Amino acid sequence: MVAAKDFDRSIDDVGNILCMEHVNVTVPDQTLATYFYVNGLGFTRDPYIDFGPFNVWINVGSQQFHLPTKEPQVLRGHTGVVVADLDALEKRLTSVSSRLKDTKFAFSRNRESISVTCPWGNQIKCYAPGKFGNMKLGIPYVEFDVPVGTCPGITRFYEKVFNCTTTLRKKSCEINVGRGQTLRFRESKKKVDYDGHHIAIYVVNFSEPHSYLKKKNLITEESDAHQYRFLTIIDPKSGKKLFDIEHEVRSLHHPMYERFLVNRNASQTFFNYQQGRDAFVP
């Protein structure tokens, strides 16, 4: 007989949000944007849904950046990504530097990550595989700068509305999403106006959050049968508005749920080409 062991079964609990699927920031120039996200960061332009000059979807493992053409939006905080190889990333970023020199593009390497600024100021922090479960390529978290004193209410919101498990620290909090992703919030004195960038999440129970948000008059768009949007995070205890970040909320019946995303091996070039190694293999 196997000896009884004490397992903390709650560690494997998953709340109502199964995944954060994309981060949407508008960009004014698709040529520069694809040069940055594809050639610089090494990600893959979605080959199947191609909007041409009006929008580009960039695949990063099982997540995406959506980049519609418009005045630039800048996420208030930063997006964490996992890439296959930091040394190779540093080489690619160096190689795109001269063409992006008249933009906000910049990068710096730290002990465990490379912090990158996109041509319009979005902050992206790139990690090697290993820090976020078994994610080898993807977006493990998005971190938002939020007003001082709002983190306790933000955790209450995701616990109450989305049944998420959360971690509350002194000036920050983390909301657990699916297997190994988080939404992070960090209190900051920075005051930046919200420009409309958004994130998309998939939820198991679609109607309960909708009922709550509708009752509080927080639904901003009834997109279609499988998607709605809300903008404002409130404290369920006081009703106080805490932070605006548009969430595109999708059900598991949304046609794009678990859509297969193509990812390439970013190390393949004309000069070092290896047969059969075109696809990213985790």
| Interface residue list for Fe ion (CB under 5 A) | 24, 200, 248
Least distance in angstroms from the C-beta of 56 to Fe ion: 13
* 251, 206 contact by CB (below 8 A): yes
The CB density around residue 228, as the number of other CB atoms within 10 Å, is 21
Cβ proximity to Fe ion, 155 vs 227, nearer residue: 227
CB of 23 to Fe ion, least distance (A): 9
| Residue 65 or 157 with smaller CB distance to Fe ion | 65
Q: Could you identify the residue written with the tokens 């900051």? A: 188
Taking Cα atoms as reference points, which of 41, 87, 61, 52 lies closest to residue 261? 61
Which residue reads 């079964």 in tokens?
9
Give the residue carrying structure tokens 């001269």: 98
**Closer of 105 and 228 to Fe ion (Cβ):** 228
241 torsion bin: left (phi>0), alpha (psi -120 to 50), beta (else): beta
CB of 247 to Fe ion, least distance (A): 10
User: Which one, 143 or 248, has the nearer CB to Fe ion?
Assistant: 248
Contact 16, 195 (CB under 8 A): no
Q: Which is nearer to Fe ion, 93 or 199 (CB)?
A: 199
Structure tokens at 5: 């062991």
CB of 199 to Fe ion, least distance (A): 8
Closer to Fe ion by Cβ: residue 16 or 26: 26
Number of helices (H) and strands (E) in the chain: give both, helices first. 4, 16
Q: For residue 12, how many other CB atoms are within 10 A of its CB?
A: 8
**187 touches 171 (CB < 8 A):** yes
Minimum distance from residue 256 beta carbon to Fe ion (Å): 10
Are 258 and 165 in contact by the 8 Å Cβ rule? The answer is no
CB of 51: closest distance to Fe ion in angstroms?
A: 13
Q: Nearer to Fe ion by C-beta: 20 or 93? A: 20
Closest CA to 213 of 178, 173, 253, 162: 162
Smallest separation, CB 62 to Fe ion (Å): 15
Comparing C-alpha atoms, which of 157, 205, 181, 2 is closest to residue 81?
181
CB of 24 to Fe ion, least distance (A): 4
**Cα 253 off chain centre by:** 21
Of the two residues 57 and 185, which places its CB atom closer to Fe ion in the complex?
Answer: 57
